[in-house]
Amino acid sequence: MPLVGGRELLFEAERLGYAVPGFNVSNVEMALGVIDAGEARRAPLLLQFNAGNLDHIGGLAVAAALGRTLAQRASIPIAVHLDHGTRLDRLREAAGAGFTSLMFDGSTAPFEQNVRQTREAYAIALAAEVALEAELGHVGGREPGVSTSEMVLTEPDAASRFVEATRVDALAVSVGTAHGLAGEINLDLVAALRASTRGLPLVLHGGSGVRPEQLREAVRAGIRKVNVSTEIHAAFTAAVAAAEGTDPRPALRRARAAVAEAASARIEALGAALRA
């Protein structure tokens, strides 16, 4: 299956009524683990890299090369996504390096500044022919590589004005979850945001730790992409911590399998299985 764009994955998720998982990975084994899960469940997915992951893995060029190579070898549709890009020059660099999906995060800025910068980000994505995700409201919580502040829920009226002004392909919304293993989804707010943005694909950040039944309800309400990071990082860390001996490879294989198991559970909850 060739490498695909984020817009293509969002279109199929919208057409068939599921949410595509976006897995934030920070090393080769984690990337392989989520692809193992996707192939076993026949699910499309996004390999995602935020600033903390990029610093660990060796930078944008290395992440793009790794993501693109693994995607091109896989049997399922995979997009390579820049998560929480906060600088326009970083988005340009990512597009040039071969990322097939971008996120601009101006969520901690005042509304008008977020609109202005997101419009500039949209021009970058449009020129590169890749999808652009933006964020309005602020999810909050703590995650390496993500700008944090207190949670600010997304207001439907503001979302309507933001989407009309920016023309983004997807909107990350703050509806009660947080980066890390926490949060309850405000399903009424999801439905209101879906209506106010005229059916635009909505993105849920902070998908780790959310109860599967809540995720299924959120998908029914209009969520079309869900980010997962802490859950698969925790699975990886626990497997490595149990290692014995001096050869790291057996531990890394177990960690890859642990990531695949955690990713598989999220894929099933999002309705993404058997969609590839």
Residues 137, 149: contact at Cβ < 8 Å?
no
Task: Classify each residue of 32-52 as buried b or exposed e, where b means 16 or more C-beta atoms within 10 Å of its C-beta.
Answer: bbbbbbbbebebbbbbbbbbb
**Residue 267 parent element (H or E):** helix 248-269
**Residue 133 has which token pair?**
């995700």
Backbone phi, psi, residue 141, to 5°: 85, -165
- Measured CA to CA, the distance from residue 248 to residue 237 in angstroms comes to 13
Active site residues: 83
Tally Cβ neighbours within 10 Å of residue 62.
Answer: 13
